[in-house]
Amino acid sequence: MLPTLSADERLRYDRQIGDGVLTDEGQRRLKGATALVTRVGGLGGPAALALAMAGVGRIIIAHGGDLETPDLNRQLLGSEAGVGKPRAEQFAKHLRAMSRFVAVEVIDHEPDDAEADALARRVAIILSCPADFEHRLRLNRAAHRAGIPFLDAAQWGMAGSLLVSDGRTTPCLACAYPDVPPFESHFPVVGAIAATMGNLAALEAIKILGGAGRPMWGQMLVIDGFRGETRHIRLTRRPACAVCGGAPPATGAKISSSSPSTRVLGA
C-alpha cells in the first residue's frame, strides 16, 4: 500500500503534482521509494539533492574520503567550511536541511561487492555516479541481480553521458562498455556539466519511481557541452555479456569501445 501525503507534503509538492508532471499516486510512489546514490560528488550530489527535493522518501548515499578544495568546483553539497572533513555526513546534513520529509542514510565508503548486492535488495533504483569503472560495473551487476533500474551518469571535461537500464531486459553498462575505459584519477571537469548530468539522472529516476513520462530505457544520452551537441544512442544487448547475456537482445545500434563517450568518466 502506498503511503499517504500529509497536508504539509501536499503544499511542498504542489507545483509538481498535475498535468505534465506527477499524479497524486506518483508523488506517493516517490514517498514510498528508496534510492541509492553512489557517489554523491559532482554528479551524485545534484542527483541526490533533486531526489530529496522531489520527495523520494529515503535516499541512501555512499561516499568515502574528505572534502578537498578542488572538489568545490562541482560538489555542491559541500562548502569551504567542510574542507578537510569527511564528505558523506556533511553531504547528508545538507540534504536533510533541504527537506524534513526525506530520510537520508549515510555510508561513509564505497560499497564492495557484498554490500552492493545487499543494498540493491533494499532499494528501488540505483544511481551510479562514481569516478572509476570498477565501482560502476559493481553497481551494474548488483542492480541486474536484483532486477532493479540502474542509471549511470558520467562526465569528462564539458561532456557527459547518461545510461538508463531497467536491470532486467534492456542493455546494461557492461554491454555498452565491453572493454573497460582507461581511468584518469585527475580528470578535467566543469561543474556545470556535472550538475547537468546529475539532474538528468534524477529526472529519469523521478519518472521511473513516479510512473511518469517515458524513461530512456536501453539508451545512452551523450552531451558534448564543448561543441553544443547532443545525441541519443540506442544500445544493443550483447549475448556474450558477462552480466546480462543470454536473454533475447534488444534492437538498435551498438556503441563501440572506440566511441567518444568512453572518455566520459569521473564523479
What's the pLDDT tens digit per position in 174-194?
999 988 887 777 889 999 999
Is 217 within a domain?
Answer: yes
- Domain with 210 in it: what CATH number? 3.40.50.720
Cα four-point dihedral sign 117, 131, 148, 233: negative
Q: Is 235 exposed, middle or buried (0-12, 13-18, 19+ CB in 10 A)?
A: buried
pLDDT at 246: 67
Is 2 within a domain?
Answer: no
Is 221 within a domain?
Answer: yes
Give the H/E segment covering residue 107.
Answer: strand 103-107
What's the pLDDT tens digit per position in 60-98?
999 999 999 999 999 999 999 999 999 999 999 999 999
Is 1 within a domain?
Answer: no
Is 130 within a domain?
Answer: yes
d(CA 81, CA 265): 27
Is 211 within a domain?
Answer: yes
**136 backbone dihedrals φ, ψ, rounded to 5°:** -60, -45
Is 92 within a domain?
Answer: yes
* pTM value surpassing 0.85: yes
CA distances 136 to 1, 13, 90, 253, Å, are: 33, 32, 23, 22
DSSP letter at 77? T
249, pLDDT greater than 80: no
> How many structural domains comprise the chain?
1
What's the pLDDT tens digit per position in 11-23?
999 999 999 999 9
Asked if 257 and 178 count as a contact pair (C-beta separation under 8 A), the reply is: yes
Is 72 within a domain?
Answer: yes
What's the pLDDT tens digit per position in 22-62?
999 999 999 999 999 999 999 999 999 999 999 999 999 99
Q: Which domain holds residue 53?
A: 7-263
